[in-house]
Amino acid sequence: MNDNRTYPYYFSLGAMLLYVLLLVLPGVAGILYAFTDWNSYDSAVHFIGLDNFRQVFSGENMYLSYIKNTLVFTVSTILLKTAIGFVLALMLSNAVRLKNMHRAMMFMPAVVPMLIVGLIFKSVLHPDTGLLNVTLRSLGLGVLEQQWLTDLKWAFKSIIAVDVWKGAGYIMVILLAGLQTIPKDYDEAAEIDGAGFWKRIWHITLPLLAPALTVSIVLNLLYGLKIFDTVYVLTNGGPGYATEVIYTGVFKEFSMGRYGVGTALSTVLFLFMTVLGYFVVKWMSREEESH
Protein backbone atom coordinates (compact mmCIF):
# COMPACT_ATOMS: atom_id res chain seq x y z
CA MET A 1 0.00 0.00 0.00
CA ASN A 2 1.35 3.39 -0.97
CA ASP A 3 1.14 5.72 2.06
CA ASN A 4 2.13 8.72 -0.09
CA ARG A 5 -0.78 8.38 -2.44
CA THR A 6 -2.83 11.55 -2.93
CA TYR A 7 -6.59 11.03 -2.89
CA PRO A 8 -9.09 13.26 -4.75
CA TYR A 9 -10.73 16.11 -2.83
CA TYR A 10 -14.21 14.67 -3.26
CA PHE A 11 -13.26 11.85 -0.87
CA SER A 12 -13.69 14.37 1.96
CA LEU A 13 -17.10 15.60 0.83
CA GLY A 14 -18.98 13.14 3.07
CA ALA A 15 -17.19 14.31 6.20
CA MET A 16 -17.62 17.95 5.20
CA LEU A 17 -21.34 17.42 4.59
CA LEU A 18 -21.80 15.84 8.02
CA TYR A 19 -19.85 18.72 9.60
CA VAL A 20 -22.07 21.29 7.90
CA LEU A 21 -25.31 19.47 8.76
CA LEU A 22 -24.47 18.71 12.39
CA LEU A 23 -22.46 21.77 13.40
CA VAL A 24 -22.52 24.67 10.96
CA LEU A 25 -26.25 24.79 10.16
CA PRO A 26 -27.43 24.47 13.80
CA GLY A 27 -24.95 27.18 14.79
CA VAL A 28 -26.13 29.55 12.06
CA ALA A 29 -29.78 28.79 12.90
CA GLY A 30 -29.08 29.58 16.56
CA ILE A 31 -27.58 32.95 15.66
CA LEU A 32 -30.57 33.77 13.44
CA TYR A 33 -33.02 32.92 16.24
CA ALA A 34 -31.24 35.51 18.43
CA PHE A 35 -32.88 38.16 16.21
CA THR A 36 -36.41 36.85 16.81
CA ASP A 37 -38.98 36.77 19.62
CA TRP A 38 -38.97 32.94 19.69
CA ASN A 39 -40.60 31.70 22.90
CA SER A 40 -42.71 28.88 24.27
CA TYR A 41 -45.85 31.02 24.62
CA ASP A 42 -46.42 31.83 20.96
CA SER A 43 -46.08 29.44 18.03
CA ALA A 44 -45.33 32.33 15.66
CA VAL A 45 -41.73 33.56 15.41
CA HIS A 46 -41.19 37.21 14.43
CA PHE A 47 -38.03 39.02 13.43
CA ILE A 48 -37.29 41.78 15.99
CA GLY A 49 -33.80 42.84 14.94
CA LEU A 50 -31.41 43.73 17.77
CA ASP A 51 -34.05 43.96 20.50
CA ASN A 52 -32.77 40.86 22.33
CA PHE A 53 -29.22 42.20 22.31
CA ARG A 54 -30.43 45.61 23.51
CA GLN A 55 -32.15 43.81 26.36
CA VAL A 56 -28.94 41.94 27.21
CA PHE A 57 -26.80 45.08 27.29
CA SER A 58 -29.38 47.56 28.57
CA GLY A 59 -28.46 47.21 32.24
CA GLU A 60 -32.13 47.01 33.22
CA ASN A 61 -31.87 43.25 33.76
CA MET A 62 -29.20 41.06 35.35
CA TYR A 63 -27.60 40.03 32.06
CA LEU A 64 -24.66 42.42 32.40
CA SER A 65 -23.85 40.90 35.78
CA TYR A 66 -23.84 37.46 34.12
CA ILE A 67 -21.27 38.73 31.62
CA LYS A 68 -19.21 40.43 34.33
CA ASN A 69 -19.18 37.30 36.51
CA THR A 70 -18.16 35.17 33.53
CA LEU A 71 -15.24 37.46 32.69
CA VAL A 72 -14.12 37.71 36.35
CA PHE A 73 -14.28 33.93 36.69
CA THR A 74 -12.32 33.42 33.47
CA VAL A 75 -9.52 35.88 34.30
CA SER A 76 -9.23 34.69 37.90
CA THR A 77 -9.04 31.01 37.05
CA ILE A 78 -6.58 31.59 34.19
CA LEU A 79 -4.19 33.46 36.49
CA LEU A 80 -4.53 31.10 39.46
CA LYS A 81 -4.47 27.81 37.55
CA THR A 82 -1.56 28.91 35.39
CA ALA A 83 0.47 30.14 38.38
CA ILE A 84 -0.23 27.07 40.53
CA GLY A 85 0.21 24.69 37.60
CA PHE A 86 3.54 26.32 36.74
CA VAL A 87 4.83 26.02 40.32
CA LEU A 88 3.75 22.36 40.51
CA ALA A 89 5.32 21.65 37.11
CA LEU A 90 8.61 23.20 38.24
CA MET A 91 8.61 21.17 41.44
CA LEU A 92 7.79 17.88 39.73
CA SER A 93 10.15 18.38 36.78
CA ASN A 94 13.10 17.92 39.13
CA ALA A 95 14.37 14.67 40.57
CA VAL A 96 12.11 14.04 43.59
CA ARG A 97 11.16 10.82 45.31
CA LEU A 98 7.98 9.14 44.03
CA LYS A 99 7.75 11.76 41.27
CA ASN A 100 5.27 9.81 39.14
CA MET A 101 2.99 9.18 42.11
CA HIS A 102 2.96 12.89 42.96
CA ARG A 103 2.14 13.77 39.35
CA ALA A 104 -0.74 11.31 39.31
CA MET A 105 -2.10 12.68 42.60
CA MET A 106 -1.96 16.28 41.36
CA PHE A 107 -3.65 15.35 38.08
CA MET A 108 -6.36 13.17 39.64
CA PRO A 109 -8.90 15.97 40.39
CA ALA A 110 -8.96 16.85 36.68
CA VAL A 111 -10.49 13.48 35.76
CA VAL A 112 -13.17 13.50 38.47
CA PRO A 113 -16.58 14.51 37.02
CA MET A 114 -17.67 18.00 38.07
CA LEU A 115 -20.93 16.62 39.48
CA ILE A 116 -18.94 14.51 41.96
CA VAL A 117 -16.60 17.42 42.77
CA GLY A 118 -19.60 19.70 43.35
CA LEU A 119 -21.34 17.27 45.67
CA ILE A 120 -18.14 16.75 47.65
CA PHE A 121 -17.47 20.45 48.06
CA LYS A 122 -21.10 21.26 48.89
CA SER A 123 -20.59 18.92 51.81
CA VAL A 124 -17.14 20.29 52.68
CA LEU A 125 -18.34 23.92 52.56
CA HIS A 126 -21.62 23.38 54.43
CA PRO A 127 -21.84 26.14 57.06
CA ASP A 128 -22.81 23.87 59.98
CA THR A 129 -21.59 20.34 59.27
CA GLY A 130 -19.01 21.00 56.53
CA LEU A 131 -15.49 19.71 57.01
CA LEU A 132 -13.92 23.15 56.57
CA ASN A 133 -15.90 24.94 59.28
CA VAL A 134 -15.79 21.93 61.61
CA THR A 135 -12.00 21.85 61.26
CA LEU A 136 -11.74 25.60 61.93
CA ARG A 137 -13.87 25.22 65.07
CA SER A 138 -11.82 22.28 66.33
CA LEU A 139 -8.61 24.32 65.92
CA GLY A 140 -10.07 27.21 67.86
CA LEU A 141 -10.37 29.33 64.71
CA GLY A 142 -14.14 29.63 64.72
CA VAL A 143 -13.81 33.32 63.96
CA LEU A 144 -12.74 32.31 60.43
CA GLU A 145 -15.94 30.37 59.76
CA GLN A 146 -17.97 31.60 56.80
CA GLN A 147 -21.17 30.82 54.92
CA TRP A 148 -19.00 29.79 52.01
CA LEU A 149 -21.71 29.14 49.41
CA THR A 150 -24.50 31.41 50.66
CA ASP A 151 -22.66 34.59 51.62
CA LEU A 152 -22.56 37.26 48.90
CA LYS A 153 -18.93 37.97 49.81
CA TRP A 154 -17.69 34.39 49.63
CA ALA A 155 -19.91 32.40 47.24
CA PHE A 156 -18.21 33.41 43.99
CA LYS A 157 -14.74 33.15 45.53
CA SER A 158 -15.58 29.63 46.72
CA ILE A 159 -16.61 28.61 43.20
CA ILE A 160 -13.34 29.97 41.81
CA ALA A 161 -11.37 28.09 44.50
CA VAL A 162 -13.12 24.79 43.72
CA ASP A 163 -12.50 25.20 39.99
CA VAL A 164 -8.82 26.02 40.57
CA TRP A 165 -8.48 22.93 42.80
CA LYS A 166 -9.93 20.78 40.03
CA GLY A 167 -8.07 22.29 37.06
CA ALA A 168 -4.59 23.21 38.32
CA GLY A 169 -3.32 19.65 37.89
CA TYR A 170 -4.43 19.58 34.26
CA ILE A 171 -2.50 22.78 33.53
CA MET A 172 0.45 21.31 35.43
CA VAL A 173 0.60 18.38 32.99
CA ILE A 174 0.60 20.71 29.97
CA LEU A 175 3.35 22.90 31.40
CA LEU A 176 5.31 19.87 32.60
CA ALA A 177 5.36 18.55 29.04
CA GLY A 178 6.64 21.95 27.91
CA LEU A 179 9.35 22.03 30.57
CA GLN A 180 10.63 18.63 29.47
CA THR A 181 11.28 19.97 25.96
CA ILE A 182 13.64 22.69 27.27
CA PRO A 183 17.29 21.56 27.07
CA LYS A 184 18.99 21.50 30.47
CA ASP A 185 22.11 23.03 28.91
CA TYR A 186 20.51 26.50 28.80
CA ASP A 187 19.75 26.54 32.49
CA GLU A 188 23.13 25.10 33.45
CA ALA A 189 25.00 27.63 31.29
CA ALA A 190 23.06 30.52 32.81
CA GLU A 191 23.75 29.21 36.31
CA ILE A 192 27.48 29.03 35.55
CA ASP A 193 27.34 32.64 34.32
CA GLY A 194 25.95 33.64 37.71
CA ALA A 195 22.23 34.01 36.87
CA GLY A 196 20.03 33.44 39.91
CA PHE A 197 16.97 31.19 40.06
CA TRP A 198 14.41 33.90 39.28
CA LYS A 199 16.48 35.34 36.43
CA ARG A 200 16.71 31.88 34.87
CA ILE A 201 12.96 31.45 35.22
CA TRP A 202 12.20 34.86 33.69
CA HIS A 203 14.75 34.92 30.86
CA ILE A 204 15.03 31.22 29.95
CA THR A 205 12.18 29.05 31.24
CA LEU A 206 9.19 31.30 30.55
CA PRO A 207 10.20 32.35 26.99
CA LEU A 208 10.91 28.73 26.00
CA LEU A 209 7.70 27.62 27.68
CA ALA A 210 5.61 30.07 25.63
CA PRO A 211 4.01 27.42 23.32
CA ALA A 212 2.79 25.37 26.31
CA LEU A 213 1.60 28.54 28.06
CA THR A 214 -0.35 29.52 24.93
CA VAL A 215 -2.12 26.16 24.89
CA SER A 216 -2.95 26.30 28.61
CA ILE A 217 -4.20 29.91 28.48
CA VAL A 218 -6.41 29.30 25.44
CA LEU A 219 -7.88 26.13 26.98
CA ASN A 220 -8.50 27.97 30.25
CA LEU A 221 -10.05 30.88 28.37
CA LEU A 222 -12.50 28.71 26.46
CA TYR A 223 -13.34 26.66 29.55
CA GLY A 224 -13.81 29.74 31.75
CA LEU A 225 -16.11 31.54 29.32
CA LYS A 226 -18.43 28.54 28.96
CA ILE A 227 -18.44 27.62 32.65
CA PHE A 228 -21.74 26.13 33.76
CA ASP A 229 -21.49 22.89 35.71
CA THR A 230 -19.38 24.22 38.59
CA VAL A 231 -21.79 27.09 39.26
CA TYR A 232 -24.91 25.01 38.71
CA VAL A 233 -23.86 22.24 41.09
CA LEU A 234 -22.50 24.44 43.87
CA THR A 235 -24.88 27.41 44.02
CA ASN A 236 -27.24 27.31 41.01
CA GLY A 237 -26.41 30.99 40.54
CA GLY A 238 -27.22 32.05 44.10
CA PRO A 239 -27.35 33.67 46.51
CA GLY A 240 -29.65 35.86 44.47
CA TYR A 241 -27.81 36.46 41.20
CA ALA A 242 -24.36 36.75 42.78
CA THR A 243 -22.83 33.75 41.00
CA GLU A 244 -24.84 33.68 37.79
CA VAL A 245 -22.73 33.35 34.64
CA ILE A 246 -23.70 33.48 30.97
CA TYR A 247 -24.45 29.78 30.59
CA THR A 248 -26.55 29.55 33.75
CA GLY A 249 -28.41 32.58 32.39
CA VAL A 250 -28.92 30.81 29.06
CA PHE A 251 -30.16 27.70 30.89
CA LYS A 252 -32.68 29.70 32.94
CA GLU A 253 -33.91 31.70 29.95
CA PHE A 254 -34.58 28.47 28.04
CA SER A 255 -36.20 26.95 31.16
CA MET A 256 -38.64 29.91 31.21
CA GLY A 257 -39.35 29.53 27.49
CA ARG A 258 -37.56 32.77 26.49
CA TYR A 259 -35.65 31.12 23.66
CA GLY A 260 -34.84 34.28 21.72
CA VAL A 261 -33.14 36.03 24.66
CA GLY A 262 -31.40 32.80 25.66
CA THR A 263 -30.04 32.40 22.14
CA ALA A 264 -28.88 36.04 22.14
CA LEU A 265 -26.96 35.42 25.39
CA SER A 266 -25.42 32.30 23.85
CA THR A 267 -24.45 34.31 20.75
CA VAL A 268 -22.75 36.93 22.94
CA LEU A 269 -20.76 34.14 24.57
CA PHE A 270 -19.77 32.76 21.16
CA LEU A 271 -18.55 36.19 20.07
CA PHE A 272 -16.54 36.59 23.30
CA MET A 273 -14.91 33.20 22.80
CA THR A 274 -14.06 33.93 19.16
CA VAL A 275 -12.70 37.45 19.64
CA LEU A 276 -10.81 36.86 22.90
CA GLY A 277 -9.41 33.54 21.68
CA TYR A 278 -8.16 35.16 18.48
CA PHE A 279 -6.40 38.02 20.26
CA VAL A 280 -4.88 35.79 22.95
CA VAL A 281 -3.42 33.42 20.34
CA LYS A 282 -2.17 36.35 18.27
CA TRP A 283 -0.55 38.02 21.29
CA MET A 284 1.05 34.81 22.55
CA SER A 285 2.33 33.98 19.06
CA ARG A 286 3.93 37.42 18.84
CA GLU A 287 5.58 36.81 22.23
CA GLU A 288 6.95 33.47 21.01
CA GLU A 289 8.41 35.10 17.86
CA SER A 290 10.02 37.92 19.88
CA HIS A 291 11.95 35.34 21.90
Task: Provide the pLDDT confidence category of residue 289 given band limits of 50, 70 and 90.
Answer: low
For 225-251, how does the pLDDT look when each residue is reduced to its tens digit (9 = 90+)? 999 999 999 999 989 889 999 999 999
For 7-17, how does the pLDDT look when each residue is reduced to its tens digit (9 = 90+)? 777 778 888 88
| Residue 31 contacts residue 267 (beta carbons within 8 Å) | yes
DSSP string, 50-66: THHHHHHHSSSSSHHHH
| Residue 118 contacts residue 126 (beta carbons within 8 Å) | no
For 85-130, how does the pLDDT look when each residue is reduced to its tens digit (9 = 90+)? 999 998 888 766 777 788 888 889 999 998 899 889 999 999 888 9
d(CA 73, CA 179): 27
d(CA 87, CA 115): 27
Residue at 220 is within a domain: yes
The β-bridge partners of 42 are 39
Residue at 168 is within a domain: yes
| Residue 250 contacts residue 262 (beta carbons within 8 Å) | yes
For 205-217, how does the pLDDT look when each residue is reduced to its tens digit (9 = 90+)? 888 898 899 889 9
Residue at 54 is within a domain: no
Which CATH number do you get for residue 188?
1.10.3720.10
Residue at 9 is within a domain: no
Range of the domain at 66: 61-290
| Residue 36 contacts residue 47 (beta carbons within 8 Å) | yes
Handedness of CA 146, 148, 151, 153 (dihedral sign): positive
Give the phi and the psi of residue 227 in degrees, each rounded to 5: -60, 135
**Count of the separate structural domains present in the chain:** 1
Residue at 1 is within a domain: no
pLDDT above 60 for 2: no
Nearest to 227 by CA among 208, 213, 246: 246
Nearest to 171 by CA among 240, 258, 103: 103
Residue at 264 is within a domain: yes
Residue at 13 is within a domain: no
DSSP string, 81-129: HHHHHHHHHHHHHS--TTHHHHHHHHHHHHHS-HHHHHHHHHHHT-TTT
d(CA 111, CA 214): 22
Residue at 21 is within a domain: no
d(CA 115, CA 25): 31
